Amino acid sequence: MRSGQYLLESCRHLVYVVPGALVNSARWVNNEAVANHEEIELVDSVLTQLVDALKAHKVERVLQLFRADAVLYGSEVGQEAEGGPELRKFFTEFVARPETYGWTWETPRAVKRGEIVFFIVPAVNVITWPDGSQTSRPYRLSGMLEKAYAGHWEFSFFNGAEPVPSRVGSFVE
């Protein structure tokens, strides 16, 4: 496959293919797709740590996953935080809610550039209510992880979003 060539995947998404670029969690090397298993496992591991810390209501464990200058945007209006003090306030209020939030997700799409990993992943937001009942809704998680001096990976950017229903006549069917 040459640069600039279009590929229509079975899921009916049009993707512009550039050698070395991310396509469904794969790199193109010598015109062949090579899976990014290392990046996928890394993203999966850090997201799992985040969900486990949120479910345990452990603000300090959550904050250990974020750089001191990280930026976060949630799906609700006003859900944003930049830097350590704002992140602490955000997560302290978030875990104080009576309901517990977590996500399940499909295979992340991820690409590594040096000491940075960019990712996006279709997910399901799972809300567990005080009575034990659960509500699930489609969600998307994306962000950027950076390798810290201590060798672990931290979020520099984190975004959660709820996809909206498709409109009639949209460009993606």
> Is residue 111 domain-shared with residue 74, that is, in the same domain?
yes
Examine the pLDDT at 157 and tell me if it is beyond 80. yes
Distance CA 46, CA 130 (A): 26
- Identify whether 168 is part of a domain: no
* Domain extent at residue 136: 36-161
Same domain, 75 and 130: yes
Q: What is the mean pLDDT of residues 43-63?
A: 95
Instruction: Give the percent of the chain with pLDDT over 90.
Output: 62
Using the predicted structure, report yes or no on whether residue 53 has a pLDDT greater than 70.
yes
Note the pLDDT of residue 171.
Answer: 55
Is 170 part of any domain? Answer: no
pTM above 0.85, yes or no: no
Residue 173 placed within a domain: no
Residue 171 is assigned to a structural domain of this protein: no
Domain check: are 22 and 93 in the same one?
A: no
Number of domains in the chain: 2
- 106-150 pLDDT, tens digit per residue, is 889 999 988 999 999 999 999 999 999 999 999 999 999 999 988
28/111 same-domain check: no
63 and 141 in a single domain? The answer is yes
Enter the DSSP assignment of 171: S
Going by pLDDT thresholds of 50, 70 and 90, the confidence category of residue 88 is very high
Instruction: Please report whether residue 166 resides in a domain.
Output: no
Sequence letter at residue 163 = P
126 burial type by CB count under 10 A (0-12 exposed, 13-18 middle, 19+ buried): middle
Q: Is residue 172 part of a domain?
A: no
